[in-house]
Amino acid sequence: MLKNSFFFACLLGLLCATQIGCDKSAPVSLYFDETGCSNPWDSYYEADSFSLAALEQSIYRMLQDYQIQDATVRFDFDSTKIQLCLACHCTTGRIIEVQTRQANSNALRRLNFYP
């Protein structure tokens, strides 16, 4: 047990020393499973239609409020994540991907994005 702990401590130290695991400017992707009406960007939605362009703009406005300027937003769809219910917490199957720097990952995780 002690031997394994020492090995992992050395490995972690090596990764940080070479900045592989500790580089705050390294790119990272985080994901969010869109819900019916309890998304962190819902209050930023200003359009009168439900287009992807309007959704994308509302997500960018939310990211700016959290000082995340260098992000790229992409959309994907996973039919296994669809929950056929009318509650706000039910997922639609749409997955929001935000690509940004590692330094922004904690702010996105507080908004329920996941790696």
Residue 11 — pLDDT band, cuts 50, 70, 90? Answer: low
The whole model's pTM is what? 0.77
Domain ranges (residues) in the chain = 24-110
Using alpha carbons, select from 43, 100, 95 the residue that is nearest to residue 68: 100
Q: 36-54, pLDDT tens digit by residue?
A: 999 999 999 887 778 999 9
Sort strands 91-101 and 72-77 into parallel, antiparallel or unpaired: antiparallel
- CA 32, CA 60: separation in Å to the nearest integer? 14
